[in-house]
Amino acid sequence: MDLSERHALIIDRLRSAERVDVAELARAIGTSEVTIRRDLEQLAEQGVLRRVRGGAVSLLSRGEGPPFVFREVDNVEAKRRIGAAVAGLIQDGEAVVVDGGTTGLEVARALAGRRVTVMPLSMQAAGALANAAPTRIIQAGGEVRPGELAVTGPLAEAGLRALRFDTAVLSCCGASAEHGVTAYDPADASLKSVAISSAARTILAADAAKFARTAMAVVAPLTRVDVLVTDTAAPPEALEAIAALGIEVHRV
């Protein structure tokens, strides 16, 4: 089991038990206690947990998703395919707002070097688009969320409301025909909602895992989405329900 897999397992244990024990984790993962202690120290530095004698306790609230550094290495190939497919739906000359998150980052990477105007909603995506002429970048304002490096808040929303885009590319924390598009952070959900209202078309980029989750904050009903791009592992019954709403669905 590699580093990212161990960290993901530790986070899953913290979500269910709120406290983990070094010896128990070492047995479950099949590694040494020294390795587990090192993993816990790394996670503590990233604000995921607090070290206590013999283990650690969670610092993640129930409304919080996994940190960006772990999502970035999760389902990477599927997210790259989704990013390329979304970029393929965007025409040269378009004005596009690209959401934060790991899937939004892959969309930004796929658009880099294209003749488009992009407002990225994260520093991660802005970095992927930088120095990629003829791509034009309009930087969003707002508060930058630590770790995630996504922008949120009134300044970011005002910047979006002042512009009109051909396409808004959204990422999400959860998606379903019943509960719509959801996010863990209410400020993030609010910004996504403004992005939808500022664009003529909305593309939702979501890997298969998103259809098994419903996060705390509602972004919008799925009827506000025009196109869904996902991967081949997405559950067919969920996609059928989404397509029944009149949404164009792409599996890549």
pLDDT tens readout for residues 104-126 = 999 999 999 999 999 999 999 99
Range of the domain at 240: 70-251
Percent of the chain at pLDDT > 70 equals 92
Nearest to 97 by CA among 139, 144, 133, 155: 139
**Residues 234 and 157 occupy one common structural domain:** yes
Do 188 and 232 fall into the same domain? yes
Residues 50 and 93 in one domain: no
- Lookup result for tokens 């000359």: 93
pLDDT of residue 76: 81
Structural domain contains residue 185? yes
CA angle 96/140/81 to nearest 5° reads 45
Please state, in angstroms and as integers, the Cα–Cα distance from residue 94 to each residue in 91, 130, 135, 230, following that order: 6, 18, 11, 22
Residue 127, domain CATH: 3.40.50.1360
Q: 197 and 80: one domain?
A: yes
Residue 71 in this model has a pLDDT that exceeds 70:
no
User: Last residue of a domain, which of 11, 39, 60?
Assistant: 60
Q: Give the integer Cα–Cα distance in Å for 124 and 109.
A: 10
Q: Kindly state whether residue 129 falls inside one of the protein's structural domains.
A: yes
Number of domains forming the structure of the chain: 2
- SS3 state at 51: strand
Residue 137 sits in the same domain as residue 160: yes
Name the more confident of 146 and 187: 187
> Which residues lie below 8 Å from residue 12, measured CB to CB, with a gap of 6+?
none
Say which CATH number the domain at 32 has.
1.10.10.10
DSSP one-letter string for 59-78:
---TT----HHHHTTSSHHH
Higher pLDDT, 33 or 15: 33
From residue 147, give the alpha-carbon distance in Å to each of 64, 87, 172. 13, 25, 17
Whole-model pTM over 0.75: yes
> 158-211 pLDDT, tens per residue?
999 999 999 999 999 899 999 999 998 899 999 999 999 999 999 999 999 899
65 domain-assigned: no
User: Same domain for 105 and 55?
Assistant: no
Q: Which of the 8 DSSP states describes residue 169?
A: E
CA distance 115 to 123: 20
Residue labelled with tokens 């960006």: 68
- Say yes or no: 19 and 92 in one domain: no
Identify whether 141 is part of a domain. yes
